[in-house]
Amino acid sequence: MSAKNSTLVKMGAAALWEEGIRSTHTIRNFEGFSMDEPTELGGTDTGGTPLEYMAATLNGCKAVMVPLIAKEQGFTFTALNFDTTGIVDIRGLMGEENVKTYFQKIRFTLEIETKESDEAIERLKAEVERRCPVYNLFTDAGIPVDANWIKK
């Protein structure tokens, strides 16, 4: 990631094919991680699938945006728990025409431990959804995202 007096930031990743459909990925100077598929889809099940990592990126993006925006809004919380699941029709992955190869829909749940009002939670949720890059990537692609924020 680099930024030199600009509002544009360059981000990227690198990958090395290992064997079959397994690959190892690196981001900047962090330890590499494996991507693979379950055995029933032809993989060796040695790592998460690319789409599972996409679900994790939504959790990660929200884990950045919620505290950032909460601080801006003076919103306090003591715990956050994220869970994202996506539904994929594997017929698209296997080549069937007119079937999406990506998520058909996504269910995102955030359990937030807070004493803030329901109205304050809704304000926070609306601003997080407006500004979360991964959430907007999914919704701009036409993927329905069922976002549930649960107060604990």
pLDDT digits (tens, 9 = 90+) for 13-63: 999 999 999 999 999 999 999 999 999 989 999 999 999 999 999 999 999
Mean pLDDT, all residues of the chain: 95
The pLDDT value recorded for residue 100 is 94
Residue 3 has pLDDT above 70, yes or no: no
The CATH number assigned to the domain holding 89 equals: 3.30.300.20
| Residue 40 and residue 84 in one domain | no
| Residue 89 and residue 126 in one domain | yes
Name the nearest CA neighbour of 55 among 152, 150, 142, 143: 143
The pLDDT value recorded for residue 6 is 78
Name the nearest CA neighbour of 111 among 78, 133, 137, 85: 78
pLDDT digits (tens, 9 = 90+) for 133-147: 999 999 999 999 999
Place of tokens 């900047």: 28
The pTM of this model reads: 0.90
| Residue 65 and residue 112 in one domain | yes
Phi, psi (deg, nearest 5) at residue 92: -65, -45
The structural domain count of the chain equals: 2
Q: What share of the chain in percent tops pLDDT 70?
A: 97
Query: 88-126 burial, b if ≥16 CB within 10 A, otherwise e?
Result: beeeebeeeeeeeebbeebbbebebebebeeebbeebbe
Domain boundary among 48, 64, 86: 48
Phi, psi (deg, nearest 5) at residue 105: -160, 160
| Residue 69 and residue 83 in one domain | yes
**86 is in which domain, residue-wise?**
50-151
